[in-house]
Amino acid sequence: MTTYLPDDTYGVMREEVRPDEWVRTTCGYCSVGCGMLLGVKGGKAVAVMGDPAHPVNQGRLCPKGLSEHQTIDVDGRLTTPTLNGAPVSWDAAIGSMVVGFRRLLHEHGPDSVAVLSTGQLVTEEFYALGKLARLGLGLRHYDGNTTLCMASAVAGYKRSFGSDGPPGAYSDLDVADCILLVGANIADNHPLLAPRVIGNTASTVIVVDPRVTKTAMMADLHLAVKARTDIVLLNGMIKILIDEGLVDQAYVEAHTSGFEELAAHVAGYSLERVAAECGVDASLIRSAALAFGRAGSATAAWTMGVNHSVQGTETVTLLNTLCLITGNVGKAGASPFSITGQCNAMGTREAGATASMPGYRAWDSAADREELARLWDWPVERLPVARGRAYPDIIDGVYDGTIKGLWIIATNPPVSFPNRGRLERALAQLDLLVVQDGFETPTTALAHVVLPAAIWGEKDGTYTNAERRVSRVRAAVAPPGLAKSDFDIFLAVGEALGVREALYPGWKGPEDAFSEWGRVSAGRLCDYSGMTWDMLDAEGGVQWPCVPGTTGSPRLYEDGVFQTPDGRARLWCVSPEPIADAVSGRFPFLLNTGRTVEHWHTRTKTGRVGVLEHLAPEGWVELNPADARRLGVAAGDRVRLVSRRGIVEGVPVRVTATIREGEVFMPFHYDELCVNRLTIDEFDPISREPNYKQSAVHIEPMTTP
Amino acid sequence: MTLTLTTLGTPALLPLEDGEQYRFTFDMNSCVGCHSCEVACAEQNGTPVDEAWRRVGELESGSFPQTRRFNLSMACNHCLEPTCLSGCPTKAYEKLGNGIVVHHPDECVGCQYCMWNCPYEVPVFDTAKRIVSKCDMCRPRIDAGQSPACVQACPTYAIGLEAVDVAGWREDHAAGDGPGLPPVGITMSTTRMVLPPGDLSGMTAADDHRVEPEDPHWPLVALTLLTQLSLGTVATTVVLQLAGAASRSVMGGAAVGAFAAGAVALGASLLHLGRPGRALKALRNVRTSWLSREVALFSAFSGLSLAYAALLSPLLGVLAVVAGVAGVYASGRLYLVPARPVWNSWRTPVAFFATAAATGPLLAYFMLDRSVVAEGWLVALVVAAALGTLAQVAVLVHLAVVVRRGTDRQHQGTAHLLLDRFGGRFQGRLALSAVALLLLMGALLEPLSSAAAGGRLGAAVVVVAAGELLGRWLFYVTVVPFRVAGSFFRTRS
């Protein structure tokens, strides 16, 4: 018989999970950044609840958040460092890593070792890792899985505004007169944004998505475009805005450059052409453009439908342009909003040292390098003069043997990187693969050295969410076995390298890193200098820029002054390019990929949470009923998918009219039915983000096992 | 079609007025299919992952891009006429004054009859505890003035809790119907649906393709077949005795056989229970549960059969037959549940009595001292068995026609299972009946006391037994119950 007892915070709950203590923290899954309370009983995480006081989610959580305490004490946690599969001490593991990397760097030069990190660490750890990788190890090549996720948004913001940094806030969704969601299935992927969109009943909601997603059902206008016709659509919408006199001329003249070229460029995008190429009714496109143009305030938000493209960066600039020419930047309800993926992708963008130096400083700017060297008290010549290889180029370097040592932190490339076959051949060639993670994964299975890390719930720091809100993350329980926080691992590596004090002067814990990062960010767009951990505790999340004496800023560019040399936002002309892996007689279906609400990334965590795993235990492929009939398959049948790069067998068929004939969809979370055996390894030339969403495949029925 | 945040919101738990009860509301407009309610429910109640109390299904209609898709989050509907409660043999269910239908685990024997009765497949069998469990609307929270966990968790306020005027709802409960749901009237579900505008007909569920065979319930196969065999045998014996066709001295074997069959049946039925040690509780609800009545009547039948076998008193025999007929009727009647339309037909009791006719006389034939029974009576036994088998064939043909013509998921599903997936076994069942009839006819060509006839009838017994076994297996396995629309990977079974 279950005993229920009252809990002052949660209400009535089961005795066995009624916590001794609730620890205030921030969800560790997506970048929405929901505040939550993590319940601890007898040293175990036993319950969670949404933080009713948190401005992001006001006490509500998605199913992943609601079961997040179940990710901690599970099978498959890494509990001891290993060397070639055998348990060793921390000293031995880090010693062999440092000796190995140093030997490679000595024998093969500074290009021979690289780091691949993540969007999952706390900002303090990203900041520490950046210093360690670039200064301590002296590496030229360091990037993160954020390049698989929002690199195009970063690059697009930089091109349009002169800097990264999402200008808007979630509250824009509450008040916008028009919300345009492009390639953003928030109902599945950012569920706690959905109530804001639904709750804003006065707004016109436009969803641009090739599938009839759960999010499409929230729309007043759903534009079910053919795959990768978003550029044509956006050019067409811009032309309608210009033709209809819906351009905010005053804003354009005062704050942008390139309008004449843009107007001339889009002149060729007649409504008839756009409708035909997008496969959407002309009237629907016109209605969407007019709704956006006539709105007092309009927000254009996007996620992976835009970013996961060889033209992702350019598409982002078009969304920025759409907002700029209608004056929808820097005011309430109006912004071009990249809804980021990971809980702290923003933290690594701002404080890390991958695509840019900490504080959005440019590697190729002598002034930025000198400033940072001064702040760090390191010789400026120790700082690289270029960002180095981005993620796919690191993999290329591994494949061709240039890179011989790789340190992978909290990411799982065999499942998440496109063209898995080639990736696995590359990783198998490494002289030294060090993997630092909280869990056994397909990546740790390949590692020479495994470093067991603490995970969410076991360590302290901050996350920055998609609206630039910095919130505290807290250790509630101790990590298992010998596992320790990534922060402590980085300090230990610094120690082994003999540079701990030089890198981390007087640091005792992550709060020291936060203080230093605050000083380093002072005066930059992403200014954290007014924040302290105590202040974050008091405010429950603060949006940067935050200078001392303030409590942060809800949005950027309110003055219309941008980070470009001339202070004007740049309007770019963008033309669509054909799909590289186009369908053919042999590969007649265009494969799209994406997510489902029950799972997170490569299921490292959610695959271990019974209630989530039970809801979506394996991958599937969505097929239009007409295609299913043609293939002679029915719902629940198993099929084989073949692309020019690989095969996936035994995929259950879901027959659904939510997908266009000729297009198919698979979720990307599954190691077992890994869609990335099929996807093309083609990348945005600017952001280096993969083009996950269009790969040609052949489908054949399989006899039921 | 814009989804809108429902106006229902999270209710303040106001005290109920007279004549009111609590109920769930579900706004299909607002639900985005995030499954938070399911996770919150599991966390609140500690339910195992495959025994969820609240589940979210997926519905779809139309063709691309004019496709419509909705989600359907349902838990217990806390019905006005809860068939889980009325069918429960142990009175493990209780409808509280505030409307909550609660299940008392200590009273449950794990017979799972509530799972057959509920058209929403709400009660789930807890494989660890060997009893069922179900949503209690988070009663401990309600008692403390707090919303249920699902209501609390829903990010879009699609699930609500409100008071309903019970009498008014009895008058007009149309707002309880919705796509993906069984008709509200079966049990007077109280959940109020807020539906999207426009045509919602023709919505398909993501689990429509998943028509899975039900458990064969081997203990129940044994219980039903053996009680029917036993009744047929006792009845044959008693008729022969009353007609003076045979003296008491030759009846004993048949009566003992009949009792033995019935006793084995009751023993086997215990294996069906999750908690056989509590089996006696199953007699508690004779007032409304056909299952309690079945248990009571078969117990009486078994006792009277034993007495009859021992004493061979015609009065006891008649009483045994009366109890047996009533028991087999109750046994058939308990399958007549609206939640399982293919069972819910005259075919079920007819088939049960046909089994008694097809098997009992044959067992009696072999247990009697045939040398002292008049040939004419032996012919009557064989003819009775043949008529029983013929009746079975008629029932099967009728079933096949009805399910093939059916337009609903329940009949079409049974057609798929019975005639397609297990079509070979269905034909085998019919073929065994045909062979049995030939053997019975063939036996009539010889004097029935002869060895040749005995041989043919012996073969007939084997064939009839095989046919009945196969037929009863098909009966349990091919029924397709009402259910709430499910998700792609999960149905309620």
Mean pLDDT within A353-359: 94
Across all residues in chain A, what is the average pLDDT? Answer: 96
Q: What is the pTM of this model?
A: 0.94
pLDDT category of residue B249 using cuts at 50, 70 and 90: low
Across all residues in chain B, what is the average pLDDT? Answer: 91
Does A291 lie at the interface with B, CB-CB under 8 angstroms? no
Does A634 lie at the interface with B, CB-CB under 8 angstroms? yes
Q: Which of A2, A13, A197 to mutate to test the interface with B (most CBs of B within 10 A)?
A: A13
Calpha distance A124→A132 (Å, rounded): 12
Structure tokens that stand for A502 in this block: 């030089």
Predicted local distance difference test score (pLDDT) of residue A150:
94
* Residue A544 and residue A528 in contact, taking contact as beta carbons nearer than 8 Å: yes
| Dihedral angle sign, alpha carbons of residues A274, A277, A278, A281 | positive
Mean pLDDT within B66-77: 97
Distance from CA of A411 to the nearest CA of B (A): 25
> Which residue on chain A is closest to B37 by alpha carbon?
A63
Peptide bond into B65 cis (omega under 30): yes
Structure tokens that stand for B463 in this block: 């064939």
Q: Do A6 and B144 touch (CB under 8 A)?
A: yes
Calpha distance B88→B134 (Å, rounded): 14
pLDDT at B13 over 80: no
Does A618 lie at the interface with B, CB-CB under 8 angstroms? yes
Distance from CA of A218 to the nearest CA of B (A): 5
Mean pLDDT within A470-478: 97
pLDDT in tens, B209-244: 989 999 999 999 999 999 999 999 999 999 988 888
Considering CB atoms only, which of A14, A62, A217 is closest to B3? A217
pLDDT in tens, A95-121: 999 999 999 999 999 999 999 999 999
* Residue A300 and residue A319 in contact, taking contact as beta carbons nearer than 8 Å: yes
Mean pLDDT within B197-204: 92
Q: Do A66 and B69 touch (CB under 8 A)?
A: no
pLDDT in tens, A593-628: 999 999 999 999 999 999 999 999 999 999 999 999
Considering CB atoms only, which of A47, A66, A224 is closest to B36? A66
A13: which chain B residues are within 8 Å (Cβ-Cβ)? Answer: 44
Q: Which residues contact B96 (CB under 8 A, 6 or more apart)?
A: B102, B139
Q: Which of B39, B44, B51, B63 to mutate to test the interface with A (most CBs of A within 10 A)?
A: B39
pLDDT in tens, A187-222: 999 999 999 999 999 999 999 999 999 999 999 999
Structure tokens that stand for A663 in this block: 């297009």
* Residue B395 and residue B354 in contact, taking contact as beta carbons nearer than 8 Å: yes
Task: Kindly state the helix (H) or strand (E) to which residue B161 belongs, with its residue range.
Answer: strand B159-165
* Residue A25 and residue A472 in contact, taking contact as beta carbons nearer than 8 Å: yes
Predicted local distance difference test score (pLDDT) of residue A607:
97
Does A86 lie at the interface with B, CB-CB under 8 angstroms? no
Calpha distance A211→A675 (Å, rounded): 18
Calpha distance B309→B325 (Å, rounded): 17
Predicted local distance difference test score (pLDDT) of residue B360:
92
Q: Is A46 helix (H, G, I), strand (E, B) or coil?
A: strand
A336 closest CA partner among A164, A542, A511, A89: A164
pLDDT in tens, A174-185: 999 999 999 999
Considering CB atoms only, which of B35, B63, B65 is closest to A63? B35
Structure tokens that stand for B178 in this block: 């919705």
Q: Do A11 and B141 touch (CB under 8 A)?
A: yes
| Dihedral angle sign, alpha carbons of residues A117, A119, A121, A125 | positive
Concatenated DSSP letters of B99-157? S-EEE-GGG-----HHHHH-TT---EEETTTTEEE---TTHHHHHTT---HHHHH-TT-
For chain A, percent helix, then strand, then coil, each to nearest 5? 35, 20, 45
* Distance of alpha carbon B37 from the chain centroid: 30
**ipTM of the complex, rounded to two decimals:** 0.95
Calpha distance B183→B176 (Å, rounded): 8
Considering CB atoms only, which of A188, A613, A657 is closest to B63? A657
Calpha distance B396→B342 (Å, rounded): 12
Calpha distance A300→A432 (Å, rounded): 44
Residue at token pair 């006891």: B316
Task: Kindly state the helix (H) or strand (E) to which residue A197 belongs, with its residue range.
Answer: helix A194-199
Does A702 lie at the interface with B, CB-CB under 8 angstroms? no
Helix axes B347-367, B252-272, angle to 10 degrees: 140
Concatenated DSSP letters of A477-544? SPPSTT-B-HHHHHHHHHHHHT-HHHHSTT--SHHHHHHHHHHHHTTSSS--TT--HHHHHHHT-EES
Calpha distance A329→A321 (Å, rounded): 10
Q: Which of B3, B8, B416 to mutate to test the interface with A (most CBs of A within 10 A)?
A: B3
Calpha distance B311→B313 (Å, rounded): 5
**Helices within A67-167 (DSSP H only):** 90-108, 123-131, 151-161
Q: Is A118 helix (H, G, I), strand (E, B) or coil?
A: coil
> Which residue on chain A is closest to B156 by alpha carbon?
A195
Predicted local distance difference test score (pLDDT) of residue B491:
56
pLDDT category of residue B5 using cuts at 50, 70 and 90: very low
β-bridge pairing A647-655 and A621-623: parallel
Q: Do A614 and B490 touch (CB under 8 A)?
A: yes
Distance from CA of A200 to the nearest CA of B (A): 8
> Which residue on chain A is closest to B212 by alpha carbon?
A636
Considering CB atoms only, which of B60, B71, B490 is closest to A615? B490
Q: Per mean pLDDT, which range of A212-226, A270-284, B123-137, B259-273 is the poorest?
A: B259-273
- Geometric angle at alpha carbon A574, from A468 and A387, rounded to 5°: 50
Beta strands in A240-334 (DSSP E): 256-257, 298-302
Mean pLDDT within A362-388: 95
Considering CB atoms only, which of A4, A187, A617 is closest to B489? A617
pLDDT in tens, A506-548: 999 999 999 999 999 999 999 999 999 999 988 889 999 999 9
Residue at token pair 């265009």: A590
* Residue A669 and residue A642 in contact, taking contact as beta carbons nearer than 8 Å: no
Q: Do B67 and A198 touch (CB under 8 A)?
A: no
Q: Per mean pLDDT, which range of B76-85, B165-174, B363-372 is the poorest?
A: B363-372
Predicted local distance difference test score (pLDDT) of residue B8:
37
Predicted local distance difference test score (pLDDT) of residue A523:
96
Q: How many CB pairs under 8 A join A and B?
A: 151
Peptide bond into B179 cis (omega under 30): no
A520 closest CA partner among A255, A243, A220, A130: A130
Q: Do B65 and A617 touch (CB under 8 A)?
A: no
A30: which chain B residues are within 8 Å (Cβ-Cβ)? Answer: none
Helix axes A230-243, A259-266, angle to 10 degrees: 110
B2: which chain A residues are within 8 Å (Cβ-Cβ)? Answer: 201, 205, 218-220
Predicted local distance difference test score (pLDDT) of residue B154:
95
Calpha distance A607→A590 (Å, rounded): 28
B334 closest CA partner among B89, B132, B94: B89
Calpha distance B183→B198 (Å, rounded): 19
pLDDT in tens, B95-107: 999 999 999 999 9
Predicted local distance difference test score (pLDDT) of residue B493:
44
Give me the percent of chain B exceeding a pLDDT of 70: 96
pLDDT in tens, A228-268: 999 999 999 999 999 999 999 999 999 999 999 999 999 99
Peptide bond into A588 cis (omega under 30): no
B416: which chain A residues are within 8 Å (Cβ-Cβ)? Answer: none
B210 closest CA partner among B481, B424, B489: B489
pLDDT at B6 over 50: no
